[in-house]
Structure 1
């Protein structure tokens, strides 16, 4: 039996929420914040991008209308707080989780933009902001330069995936909703990890 696209989208969003919450909570633990601080930053990181997306498409933020999203974010943050000694030795794992969250939120955000009748470029903007919004909040709150401003292939990876979704949507009936999502998610994920592995950077000013 084929799963409805709406169910797939919900599953992807909840998974992305948990992943970004773990990423945010991990950063908070690294700054030695208390339990409240870890949960707050983890939750804001998880829900910030989605809230930006919903505001842009003129919809009520899901965090205010669906209890599952904040619950998943809080639980994931508590898990990181409890097991952080083990997780602290797994920085590569956290980078992988962050890349996965970026991919999931970007793809879902782009699709929602298209579903609301946005032009291709506008849907891509919604998707990219959905993907990077939570990470920006996380970095600002832990007093770091946002990754999107210092790691060039963070937002760029999201942009590549959002373009794949927006352009591929024209052939969605032939490709399949789930297949298109997987292709875009995998592209963002792989580009981001390869950029980390080989330290890809855009030119920077020399001093």
Structure 2
């Protein structure tokens, strides 16, 4: 196994997402096995979805090193959860870190597989939001992706699009990866702080019917 920057960023993103999954498991009162499983699902889910769409064996099943971040996250939350939970938005910050890294590594993996730029950007977004979506559904929580008071997918779209554009312009390198990740992370954190949101599916002039239709 060659240790590359892409692998390092992928493992780091897996760890950040796994932390968010384990923190949610702790809040839900799961045992440590449930924490490990939810952390693994969160950290690895987006990448597995990406690889299945591309048509290759999921990287998480080929390289056992991908199992280390969820295990480390479960142990870290087990021993330090009371210190971490003093900060109410810790889960969202770790989620933002995973989102920032995965939307990039997802797009890069798709580009390396020879996909066109549109498909690569879409798979970057899928990788970024997939783990969080699976985490929320399994933990019986309203998915953050569909929260009307959040712009969860927008930073991932921006990051995947930027990294794809840089790839085709010949400007893709480690520095550009880190810069795009920083932009996505900053946008996500600022959106949480200031409560940014995007327009609803129906305009403000539309009055919802009592049955929700």
> What is the TM-score with the length of structure 1 in the denominator?
0.91
Deviations 1:13-45 (A, max 9, x none): 111111111000000100011111111101110
Q: Distance in 2 between matches of 1:147 and 1:11?
A: 26
Q: Which residue of 2 aligns with 1:80?
A: 77
The answer for the alignment partner of 1:201 in structure 2 is: 197
CA deviations on 1:72-97 (whole Å, 9 max, x unpaired) are 21121121122111111123333221
Residue aligning to 1:187? 183
> Which protein shows a greater Rg?
2
Instruction: Tell me the CA shift for residue 137 of structure 1.
Output: 0.9
- In the alignment, what sits opposite 1:155? 153
Contact kept in structure 1, 2:106 and 2:128, CA below 8 Å: yes
Distance in 2 between residues matched to 1:68 and 1:76, nearest whole Å: 14
Q: Distance in 2 between the 1:34 and 1:23 partners?
A: 15
Compute the displacement of 1:71 (Å): 2.0
Q: 1:164 aligns with which of 162, 165, 174?
A: 162
Task: State whether structure 2 residue 131 is matched by structure 1 residue 134.
Answer: yes
Q: Calculate the TM-score normalised by the size of structure 2.
A: 0.89
Q: Which has the higher helix share?
A: 1
Q: Which residue of 2 aligns with 1:66?
A: 63
Is residue 19–residue 39 contact of structure 2 (8 Å, CA) maintained in 1? yes
Distance 1:112 1:42 in 2: 22
SS in 1 for 2:11: helix
In 2, Cα distance between equivalents of 1:110 and 1:162: 6
Are the structure 2 counterparts of residues 45 and 108 from structure 1 closer, same or farther at C-alpha, using a change threshold of 3 Å?
Answer: same
SS in 2 for 1:15: helix
Q: Find the counterpart in structure 2 of residue 122 from structure 1.
A: 119
Determine the C-alpha separation between the residues in 2 that align with 1:181 and 1:168: 9
| Pairs aligned (count) | 201
CA distance in 2, matches of 1:39, 1:115: 31
**Structure 1 position 152, deviation (Å):** 4.1
Secondary structure of 1:134's counterpart equals helix
